[in-house]
Amino acid sequence: MVKLTPPMGWNSWNTFGEKINEKLIMETADVMAESGLLKSGYDYLVIDDCWSLKERDKEGRLIPDPEKFPNGMKAVADYVHSKGLKFGMYSCAGNLTCAGYPGSYEHEFIDAETFAGWGVDFLKYDYCYHSPIVAGKYLYRRMGLALENCGRDILFSACSWGADETHEWIKESAASMWRSTGDIFDTWESVKKLIKQQEKLHPYNGVGCFNDMDMLIVGMYGKGNVGLKGCTDVQYKTHYSVWALLGSPLMIGCDIRNMNEETRKILMNRELIRINQDPLCRQPVKLTGIWSREDMVMYARMLSDGDIAIGLFNLSEEKGTGRFNLDELGLPMSTGKTLEMTEVWTGEEITAKNGTISRNLEPFDCEVFRARVVEQ
């Protein structure tokens, strides 16, 4: 399976944990199709952990929990497909999944066959309870191979949290995305930690195998399975902006059946999605200059039409100024060029003067620009 832009969709884990069932999945599919999310690009609906019985059947096959999924998974997949969506499921490289359900270790080929039979289009593959003897790279290679041979195009979403130097070997497997961070929680501290944790891994993101910074917490407001304090709308906006700008997959984690207006606006920002889905998926540039501060992070990314996406993120609880020189982007004054920039949240237009950008930001706020190269 080749996926040329970061996958987008919804995943059950962040909000629902083990409280998943057919009704929830069908209602979510309806909302994805009707709310504009599907039109915006969110096309994968993924059921995470806790969907199966605790034991396999006599032939060694996984069985969906009949209380949660009384009509079986094929029926769920058919419903999801009928809405124009793709259907995702979850398993694990270990004996057990993280929540203690059967994992796919030593059942890789039979499970891949089962998923294909149900009409699955995406498999998230976790790393709990994995063998202490067989290295992760072999486990992911094995499931990758099983999926490539199961007779169906199934996107392989590796989830080994960046452990055991995942970045060094994950592209040897058939993975189209790989979790480059630990688990997200619905707090600002968690968002900040993942942003920092990600920086050393920027060089590994690229077309065909995307760094996955974990599912979005936008719109959860502390209500989810990974719900702690929750965040403010400004913090959700900044979290979303970083994930989008850095080219992470965008997997929604809130209950979209109850989205408020602000959540809709954040999740369906067209310009940010366009940046996220840019076909080049270039490595982000971390802007440092002489003004960088620990909690004022600035990233840019070259886009396929010659534009540049630029984000200024104030991660601190104090007001701050984001400032950098255009020479960091390859545009010193000597080129005779400058940037005309449009901010993706407000539509504000600015032109860079004297080779410098300097913007004041409220606590936790951000600005993301699409910038065009023009004559000075």
The residues that are catalytic are: 126, 183
Is 49 one of the binding residues for ligand GLA (CB under 6 A)?
yes
Q: What share of the chain is helix, strand, coil (3-state, %, to 5)?
A: 30, 25, 45
Kindly state the smallest distance separating residue 160's Cβ from ligand GLA, in Å.
Answer: 9
Both tokens of residue 46? 């993924």
Kindly state the smallest distance separating residue 340's Cβ from ligand GLA, in Å.
Answer: 40
Is 164 one of the binding residues for ligand GLA (CB under 6 A)?
no
- Nearer to ligand GLA by Cβ, of 13 and 87: the residue is 13
Kindly state the smallest distance separating residue 100's Cβ from ligand GLA, in Å.
Answer: 9
Kindly state the smallest distance separating residue 212's Cβ from ligand GLA, in Å.
Answer: 10
At 106, phi and psi to the nearest 5? 65, 10
Indicate the Cα dihedral angle 210, 213, 218, 222, nearest 10°.
150
Is 183 one of the binding residues for ligand GLA (CB under 6 A)?
yes
* Closest to 13 measured CA to CA, from 371, 253, 338, 233: 253
Kindly state the smallest distance separating residue 143's Cβ from ligand GLA, in Å.
Answer: 15
| Contact residue for ligand GLA among 43, 48, 186, 212 (CB under 6 A) | 48
- Nearer to ligand GLA by Cβ, of 46 and 287: the residue is 46
Secondary structure (DSSP) of 145-210: HHHHTSSS--EEEE-STTGGGHHHHGGGTT-SEEE-S----SSHHHHHHHHHHHGGGGGG-BTTBE
Kindly state the smallest distance separating residue 92's Cβ from ligand GLA, in Å.
Answer: 8
Contacts of 333 by beta carbon, 8 Å cutoff, 6+ apart = 326, 327, 354, 355, 376
- Nearer to ligand GLA by Cβ, of 163 and 374: the residue is 163
- Nearer to ligand GLA by Cβ, of 49 and 255: the residue is 49
Both tokens of residue 245? 């700008």
Contacts of 225 by beta carbon, 8 Å cutoff, 6+ apart = 13, 14, 15, 16, 17, 18, 19
Kindly state the smallest distance separating residue 263's Cβ from ligand GLA, in Å.
Answer: 20
| Contact residue for ligand GLA among 3, 7, 13, 194 (CB under 6 A) | 13
Cα separation, 106 vs 93, whole angstroms: 9
Is 212 one of the binding residues for ligand GLA (CB under 6 A)?
no
Is 204 one of the binding residues for ligand GLA (CB under 6 A)?
no
Is 156 one of the binding residues for ligand GLA (CB under 6 A)?
no
Mark 73-112 with x for binding to ligand GLA (rule: CB under 6 A) and - for no binding: ------------------------xxx-------------
| Contact residue for ligand GLA among 43, 108, 126, 343 (CB under 6 A) | 126
Q: At residue 209, what is the residue type?
A: C
- Nearer to ligand GLA by Cβ, of 48 and 108: the residue is 48
Nearest residue to the partner ligand GLA, using Cβ: 98
- Nearer to ligand GLA by Cβ, of 122 and 161: the residue is 161
Cα separation, 365 vs 226, whole angstroms: 23
- Nearer to ligand GLA by Cβ, of 214 and 367: the residue is 214
Count of CB atoms within 10 A of residue 290's CB?
A: 7
Both tokens of residue 23? 């009704």
| Contact residue for ligand GLA among 8, 76, 154, 159 (CB under 6 A) | 159
As to burial, measured by CB atoms within 10 angstroms (0-12 exposed, 13-18 middle, 19+ buried), residue 104 is buried
Both tokens of residue 107? 């059942």
Chain contacts with ligand GLA (rule: CB under 6 A):
13, 48-49, 97-99, 126, 159, 161, 183
